[in-house]
Structure 1
Amino acid sequence: MDRTPANDTWFQGKAARSIHEDQLKKVELFNGRAAMIGFVIGVITEGLTGQGILHQIGLGPLVDGYATCSVQMLPFCF
Structure 2
Amino acid sequence: MQSNQTNETWFQSTAARDIHLEQLKRAELFNGRAAMLGIVIGILTEGLTGAGIAHQIGLGALIDGYAACRTQFLPFCF
Q: TM-score, normalised by structure 1?
A: 0.84
Distance in structure 1 (CA, Å) of the matches to 2:32 and 2:57: 20
Provide structure 1 residue ranges, at least 5 long, that are not aligned to the other structure. none
C-alpha displacement of 1:18: 0.6
Q: Which runs of 5+ in 2 are unaligned?
A: none
**Offset at residue 70 of structure 1 (A):** 4.0
RMSD, aligned α-carbons? 2.0
Distance 2:70 2:6 in 1: 69
- Paired positions, count: 74
Supply the distance in 2 between the matched residues of 1:57 and 1:21 (Cα, whole angstroms). 33
| TM superposition shift of 1:3 | 6.4
Normalized against structure 2, the TM-score is what? 0.84
Which residue does the alignment assign to 1:17? 17
- Distance (whole Å) between structure 1 residues aligned to residue 32 and residue 24 of structure 2: 12
Identity %: 68
